[in-house]
Amino acid sequence: MHLLVLAGPAWAAVYTVDPAGAGDFRDLPAAIAAAADGDTLSLAPGTYGIVEVVGRRLSIVAATPDTASLTAVDAVSSELSLHGVRFVDAYEPVEVLGGRVVLDSVQFTGGHGAAAVRVSDGGDLTLRRVRFDHVAAGLAPVLVADGRATVDTSEFEGGIGALAGAIAGIDAAIAVTATSFLSNHSDEGAGAISADGGALTLRASDFSGNVGTEGGAVWIAGGELDGQDTIWTDNTADVGGQLCVRDGAAARLTRSWFTGGLAETGGQIAILDSSLSATNLVLHQGEAIEVGGGLFLAGGSATVRYAAFQENAAGIGGGIATDDGAVHLEGAILAHNLGGDIANAGVTPVVASWSLLEQGGGVTGAMVAGHGVRWGGPAYTNPDAGELWLGSTSPGLDAGPRGEVDLDGTQADMGAFGGPSAWTIPDRDGDGEVAGRDCDDDQPAVHLGAPELWYDGIDQDCAQDDDFDQDGDGWRSFLYGGSDCDDVDPDVYPGATAAPGDSGDVNCDGLYGADADGDGWPAGVDCDDTDEMVFPGAPDTWYDGTDSDCSGGSDLDQDGDGRDRGTTDCDDADPRVYAGAPETVGDGVDQDCDGSDPGLADNTPAVTVAEAQAATPEAPNARMVTRTGCDSSSQFGIQGLAALLAVLALTGSRRAL
């Protein structure tokens, strides 16, 4: 039985086709012949033969997806929609001659012939959620000549063709969106897509492990290529490991990421007498056996803005090699390219501006370093993992072309993630700071401007400073194994010079105040901070008027008895002798400095200890008499006795007078 559904201004019917006889028709050709335009034929599980649709508007759907198999469909000047059906090991199963055909949720497995899907005579093909699984074709699994093809959310894997392993276009308009090309192969053409003339548009698609002769993934000659948000990984060819643009073609790439291409010439991209305009381009780890590990140009031009040439390799020109033509780099970074960053064998100079080239990275041939060129390493966050966004210490930050901004509104960065059309850099921890500028994008409490918790070993504010040196003076706090005695004052650290008037321990030596004379003693302790010979403990020269040792006493009072020499102290070598001192009667010493010693004759002057010692310079201890005997070993001895006799003799003679 059949159903009627409203389709536009008229009622459309849905007929069931079942080879077992449970539907409206047993035979699909009979159902097509009986159906009116706009009707839908619903196929029960089973296998259906070759059908031809001429000048009709129909839909053929599988009642249960992937259970209805078709042998072949020829659509001539028709509007035909196939949904949920499959083609298994079929010979040239779909041909579109004019008209418009939509394949939705259709699967092709195996097969043979020139092409699994062929479009010509201005036909228009749409592939939506279609999978081509190891389809071996003489020319290409999908061949579009003088027609149009739109491919969306589809997969091509393991395909083979002489022109291309997946799609070949000849003077065709081909648009590919959100589609994957994996391990397709061509012995004579491109591994995945070839476009001879016409226009090829790529959006959000990826190419991986494809193999070709020219263009491991894509080859275009004499037409136009417009690619955005594409990923190219480990494709291989003789020329142009991932992409080959030749014979006057024009290629424009935006946000395109190339990794691991391999070729004899042009490990990633080869431009042959054609033009390339690329913005936000990554060429990473490509390899050319001969020349141009990242980019090879032979004739034509290449303008590359906001790019990263990273870790490419070649015999000559690991990053870029030119045989002829013009290369203009703006906002590009070239680093760690084996075989040199740039090798220019042509006469036209490579022109670089607002770009970063690694010092010693190797530039041979003519090059003009224009405005804003810097030399140094890019300081990527994690290049080994392919994270080529700039770290917080990179010299490429905010150093891109003047007058242009990044997505965050700041001055544009150099590199593939700079400029207004760049990829969005991830923010894994959701703290509002993207990776690279966020020094730890796995910790939401760590980002630029975050509150810093000192001495916990974590750089919360991403200032790249020592977490144990809060004041930033280069010395860690003494509380955490350092020598800074005040880690909140940047002017206080070991070896600092105190300014006049400073009262603190500026140089962390345990003493407080400035040390103007540099004798190691601050002003608060040094009694004369203008004389480096005056400080506590310095050697003191008596009677020169200077308190050299900072003892605080008079420089004229050597014996420290509180009386200066020449005033009331008649013997400044003996602290017991001064005016008014207690007198010891009859000891021959004038302790009270009155000029005599009571007990001596009135006309016999008393002597000072110094005078007694001077009389016997060889016996400085003459006043110390040992009471243990008269042996020569005593402190008094023979010399002391002689001194005593001399004093007595002097006394007697003075009395006689």
pLDDT tens, residue by residue, 76-120 = 999 999 999 999 999 999 999 999 999 999 999 999 999 999 999
pLDDT reported for residue 113 = 95
Model confidence at 631: pLDDT above 60: no
Give the rounded distance of the alpha carbon of 225 from its chain centre: 33
Assign 53 a pLDDT band (cuts: 50, 70, 90): very high
Q: Is 119 exposed, middle or buried (0-12, 13-18, 19+ CB in 10 A)?
A: buried
Who's near 213: CB < 8 A, 6+ residues apart?
186, 187, 188, 189, 237, 238, 239
Mean pLDDT is highest, among 236-245, 439-448, 569-578, 590-599, for 236-245
Q: Is 490 or 4 the better-scoring residue by pLDDT?
A: 490
How many alpha carbons lie under 13 Å from residue 458 in its C-beta half-sphere? 14
Assign 491 a pLDDT band (cuts: 50, 70, 90): confident
CA distance 646 to 612: 10
Model confidence at 626: pLDDT above 70: no
What is the mean pLDDT of the segment spanning 289-299? 98
Assign 633 a pLDDT band (cuts: 50, 70, 90): very low
Mean pLDDT is highest, among 4-18, 454-468, 561-575, for 454-468
pLDDT reported for residue 505 = 76
pLDDT reported for residue 557 = 74
Q: Considering only CA atoms, which of 457, 398, 448 is closest in space to residue 427?
A: 448
pTM over 0.85: no
Q: Please provide residue 550's backbone torsions phi and psi, each rounded to the nearest 5 degrees.
A: 55, 35
Q: Is 445 or 307 the better-scoring residue by pLDDT?
A: 307
Model confidence at 317: pLDDT above 50: yes
User: Kind of pairing, strands 363-364 and 320-335?
Assistant: unpaired
The helix (run of H) or strand (run of E) holding residue 609 is helix 609-615
Neighbours of 562 (CB within 10 A): 12
pLDDT reported for residue 643 = 40
Q: Encode 272-316 in three state secondary structure.
A: EEEEEEEEEEEEECCEEEEECCCEEEEEEEEEEEEEEEECCEEEE
Q: What is the CA radius of gyration of the chain?
A: 51
Answer positive or negative: Cα dihedral of 22, 26, 28, 31: negative
SS3 category, 157: strand
Give the rounded distance of the alpha carbon of 27 from its chain centre: 66
CA distance 114 to 138: 4
Q: What is the average pLDDT value for the chain, to the nearest integer? A: 85
SS3 category, 241: coil
What is the mean pLDDT of the segment spanning 139-165? 98
Model confidence at 171: pLDDT above 90: yes
What is the mean pLDDT of the segment spanning 188-212? 98
- Cα-based distances in Å from 412 to 253, 283, 400, 438, 531: 19, 20, 5, 17, 59
Model confidence at 362: pLDDT above 90: no
First vs last C-alpha separation in the chain: 172
pLDDT reported for residue 247 = 97
pLDDT more than 90, % of the chain:
60
Q: Is 278 exposed, middle or buried (0-12, 13-18, 19+ CB in 10 A)?
A: buried
Model confidence at 6: pLDDT above 70: no
Model confidence at 583: pLDDT above 90: no
Q: Considering only CA atoms, which of 123, 162, 120 is closest in space to residue 141?
A: 162
Assign 516 a pLDDT band (cuts: 50, 70, 90): low
Model confidence at 653: pLDDT above 50: no
Q: Is 409 exposed, middle or buried (0-12, 13-18, 19+ CB in 10 A)?
A: exposed
Q: Is 452 exposed, middle or buried (0-12, 13-18, 19+ CB in 10 A)?
A: middle
Assign 432 a pLDDT band (cuts: 50, 70, 90): low
SS3 category, 349: coil
Q: Is 621 or 87 the better-scoring residue by pLDDT?
A: 87
Assigned token pair, 392? 């917080």
Assign 600 a pLDDT band (cuts: 50, 70, 90): low
What is the mean pLDDT of the segment spanning 601-625? 47
Assigned token pair, 287? 């390899």
What is the mean pLDDT of the segment spanning 409-415? 95
What is the mean pLDDT of the segment spanning 185-213? 98
CA distance 368 to 381: 29
Contact 170, 147 (CB under 8 A): no
What is the mean pLDDT of the segment spanning 135-147? 97
Mean pLDDT is highest, among 49-53, 546-550, 594-598, 603-607, for 49-53
Model confidence at 158: pLDDT above 50: yes
With vertex at residue 189, the alpha carbon angle to CA 184 and CA 190, rounded to the nearest 5 degrees, is 45
CA distance 478 to 475: 9
pLDDT reported for residue 657 = 32
Q: Which residue has the tokens 């020329």?
A: 239
| pLDDT tens per residue, range 270-283 | 999 999 999 999 99
DSSP structural state of residue 500: T
| pLDDT tens per residue, range 326-339 | 999 999 999 999 99
Model confidence at 420: pLDDT above 50: yes
Contact 286, 294 (CB under 8 A): yes
Who's near 110: CB < 8 A, 6+ residues apart?
88, 89, 90, 133, 134, 135, 136
Model confidence at 390: pLDDT above 80: yes
Contact 132, 111 (CB under 8 A): no
Model confidence at 130: pLDDT above 80: yes
Question: What residue spans define the domains of the chain?
Answer: 609-656
| pLDDT tens per residue, range 66-80 | 899 999 999 999 999
Mean pLDDT is highest, among 128-137, 367-376, 401-410, for 128-137
What is the mean pLDDT of the segment spanning 452-458? 88
Give the lowest-confidence range in 143-147, 197-201, 314-318, 625-629: 625-629
Q: Is 493 exposed, middle or buried (0-12, 13-18, 19+ CB in 10 A)?
A: buried
Interior/surface letters 231-245, b for 16+ CB within 10 angstroms, e for the rest:
bbbbbbbbbbbbbbb
pLDDT reported for residue 629 = 37
